[in-house]
Amino acid sequence: MNAYEVLKEHHVVLKGLGRKVSEAPLNSQERHELFDEMLLELDIHFRIEDDLYYPALAAASELIAIAHAEHRQVVDQLGVLLRTPQSAPAYQQEWNTFKTVLEAHADEEERDMIPAPAPVQITDAELEELGNKMAARIAQLRGSSLHKLRTRGKAALLKAI
């Protein structure tokens, strides 16, 4: 599977989790569990992009800078969401804003960086190798207890500040 397919597939995972969270009853155990799963997948997604995909597209430095800014925007909105109790009147609006920001990032990334923009020279073989590395990293992080703990810690920190 090439890198583009891995990213698009993971965008589908994130959007699907967003839909499931939206459909689950507010403040329910199901919603909390789905949201926790979404946080894990979001962290995985940012890590494969930051550690593997973006470095491979380094020649597109302006687009990479924009993508990093979008990551910060998603994390900032996530912090607002985490600090808003699900029982609060503003929660649904904060959830919708977070989901919109996240989906917009995924859509813009697919529009602007898949396929890689013109200054980037990457062969089909390199895309395949990169995709395999990304898929392996996703599998490794999904199975990692340390990654789960790290993600919970990051969420707690975002909630506290």
Per-residue pLDDT tens digits for 95-140: 999 999 999 999 999 999 999 988 899 999 999 999 999 999 999 9
Mean pLDDT of the chain: 95
d(CA 124, CA 109): 19
Residue 114 structural domain: 3-159
Query: Could you tell me how far CA 50 lies from the centroid of its own chain?
Result: 11
Q: Distances from the Cα of 149 to the Cαs of 65, 145, 152, in angstroms? A: 28, 6, 5
Angle, to 10 degrees, between the axis of helix 61-82 and the axis of helix 29-48? 160
d(CA 53, CA 66): 14
Q: At residue 10, does pLDDT exceed 90?
A: yes
d(CA 141, CA 19): 23
**Assessment of whether the complete model's pTM goes beyond 0.85:** yes
Q: Taking residues 24-35, report their average pLDDT.
A: 95
**Per-residue tokens: 95:** 């959830």
- For residue 97, the tally of other CB atoms under 10 A from its CB is 14
- The phi-psi region of residue 27 (left if phi > 0; otherwise alpha if psi is between -120 and 50; otherwise beta) is left
Angle, to 10 degrees, between the axis of helix 3-23 and the axis of helix 29-48? 160
Q: Taking residues 62-87, report their average pLDDT.
A: 94
Side chain identity at residue 119, one-letter code = P
N-to-C CA span, the chain:
39
What is the total count of domains within the chain? Answer: 1
